[in-house]
């Protein structure tokens, strides 16, 4: 990378912008389904910068994405900086206001600061650094803060239906490591079918909850290690994780009672890249067959409820090389590649655009009194700015 570019980025580093915007975002509750307030607030703050074009647009589901485009006016690549607006709900056990956004002892506190409001703030700071440095670049860069990551990823899906990008940086929390892969997610909804009756007529009924017990037991015993390359095992782990994540059966407490004729579980599986759904279905079916061998009266219904793709990018891709170079210049040591066990929005768009995943914040996340070091936000801001400069052929 051009030494002058590195010097200009350092002299114009907009770390205070990154930190200030992260504070502002943490102070707004954007639990999945309530992102619109943050989307509009972020739109106003970006417009106040007086740079480029800023707007919100409704996704096909009716939620808001916030976009900011800075165009050099010269032909060149189209780079996307993206992350999600929504968070999971606040957990129990906080000993402070989870939305206070306080800074204490070099750390910024608040719900969602790691996943992924610090990532969004750092992306914005990275673009501001690029602009304020006066570096001459080509092409354009778009920042997109999208809705519904925690749901069906409709924000990212809508974004890529509307626009085409050449390269992308996704600012998911990676503990400041470079991720080039993550697992996918296959959901299976499995129901046992019984026969309902009043509790006083229990011997005329077939209790679907009781029929589900051996099914859950057999599923809980599953440990499966697919035949995948060693490189993939090193990136995301050797075991394919399978767990019963939800149980539905009977009537809610407080109402009438009867013996249920249906019980449904959601089985959450997390396959590595390269593991097809047919392979996972076969493992699930094996457990169901063993449950039926224990109780021949079990009647089952199996539905593929949701499929989210795994992701992997070529480690020699231009955006990976650019971020790796920026990382090494910033942190002063050789970079290594890693992968995630969680699911990024790249599950929906990774096949459409060359993408690398990198951001501040790491596991465990959504814990009481969540906080993040300001130094990580500052370093991420620099890395994003240098990555953009490299991709956009800055001089």
The model's pLDDT over 59-106, given as tens digits with 9 standing for 90+, comes to 999 999 999 999 999 999 999 999 999 999 999 999 999 999 999 999
296: exposed, middle or buried (Cβ count in 10 Å: 0-12, 13-18, 19+): exposed
- Decide: helix, strand or coil at residue 304: strand
| Domain shared by 101 and 227, yes or no | no
Query: Domain count of the chain?
Result: 2
| Cβ partners under 8 Å of residue 47, min gap 6 | 54
| Domain shared by 236 and 295, yes or no | yes
Domain range for 383 is: 3-182+310-391
Give the CATH number of the domain where residue 238 resides.
Answer: 3.30.70.360
The model's pLDDT over 3-50, given as tens digits with 9 standing for 90+, comes to 888 899 999 999 999 999 999 999 999 999 999 999 999 999 999 999
The model's confidence at residue 181, banded by pLDDT at 50, 70 and 90, is very high
Domain stop point among 264, 281, 308: 308
The model's pLDDT over 138-157, given as tens digits with 9 standing for 90+, comes to 999 999 999 999 999 999 99
The model's confidence at residue 256, banded by pLDDT at 50, 70 and 90, is confident
What does the pLDDT read at residue 29?
Answer: 97
For 198, phi then psi, to 5°, come to -65, 150
From CA 43, how far away is CA 301, in angstroms rounded? 46
Average pLDDT over residues 277-286: 98
Q: How many CA atoms lie within 13 A of 144 on its CB side?
A: 29
Query: DSSP letters along 278-292, please?
Result: HHHHHHHHHHHHHHH
| Domain shared by 171 and 232, yes or no | no
Domain stop point among 308, 327, 360: 308
From CA 167, how far away is CA 271, in angstroms rounded? 25
Average pLDDT over residues 166-190: 97
From CA 123, how far away is CA 81, in angstroms rounded? 6
The mean of the pLDDT values for the chain is: 96
The CA-atom distances, in angstroms, between 123 and each of 65, 71, 130 are 15, 16, 11
The reported pTM is 0.91
Query: What is the end-to-end Cα distance of the chain in Å, rounded?
Result: 10
| Domain shared by 16 and 113, yes or no | yes
């Amino acid at each position: 990378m051009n030494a002058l570019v590195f010097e200009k980025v350092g002299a114009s580093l907009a770390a205070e912008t990154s930190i200030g915007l992260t504070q502002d975002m943490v102070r707004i509750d954007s639990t999945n389904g309530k992102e619109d307030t943050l989307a509009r607030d972020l739109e106003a703050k970006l417009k106040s910068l007086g740079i480029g074009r800023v707007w919100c647009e409704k996704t096909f589901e009716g939620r808001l994405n916030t976009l900011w485009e800075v165009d050099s006016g010269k032909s060149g690549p189209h780079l996307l900086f993206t992350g999600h607006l929504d968070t999971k709900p606040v957990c129990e056990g906080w000993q402070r206001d989870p939305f206070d956004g306080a800074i204490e002892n070099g750390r910024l506190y608040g719900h969602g600061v790691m996943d992924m409001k610090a990532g969004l703030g750092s992306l914005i700071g990275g673009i501001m650094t690029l602009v304020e440095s006066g570096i001459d670049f080509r092409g354009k860069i778009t920042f997109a803060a999208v809705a519904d990551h925690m749901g069906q990823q409709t924000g990212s899906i809508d974004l890529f239906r509307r626009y085409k990008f050449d390269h992308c940086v996704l600012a998911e929390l990676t503990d400041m490591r470079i991720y080039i892969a993550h697992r996918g997610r296959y959901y299976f909804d499995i129901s046992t079918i019984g026969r309902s009756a009043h509790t006083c007529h229990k011997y005329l009924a077939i209790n679907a909850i009781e029929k589900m017990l051996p099914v859950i037991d057999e599923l809980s015993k599953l440990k499966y290690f697919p035949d995948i390359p060693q490189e993939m095992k090193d990136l995301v782990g050797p075991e394919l994780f399978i767990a019963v994540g939800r149980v539905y059966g009977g009537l809610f407490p407080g109402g009438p009672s009867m013996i249920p004729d249906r019980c449904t579980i959601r089985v959450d599986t997390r396959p590595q890249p390269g593991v097809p759904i047919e392979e996972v279905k076969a493992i699930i079916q094996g457990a169901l067959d063993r449950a039926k061998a224990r109780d021949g009266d079990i009647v089952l219904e199996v539905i593929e409820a949701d499929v989210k793709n795994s992701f992997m990018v070529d480690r020699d891709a231009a955006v990976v090389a650019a971020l790796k170079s920026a990382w090494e210049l910033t942190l002063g040591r050789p970079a290594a590649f890693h992968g995630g066990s969680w699911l990024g929005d790249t599950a929906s768009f990774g096949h459409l655009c060359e993408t690398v995943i990198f951001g501040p914040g790491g596991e465990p996340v959504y814990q009481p009194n969540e906080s993040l070091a300001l130094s990580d936000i500052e370093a991420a801001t620099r890395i994003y700015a240098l990555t953009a400069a490299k991709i956009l052929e800055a001089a």
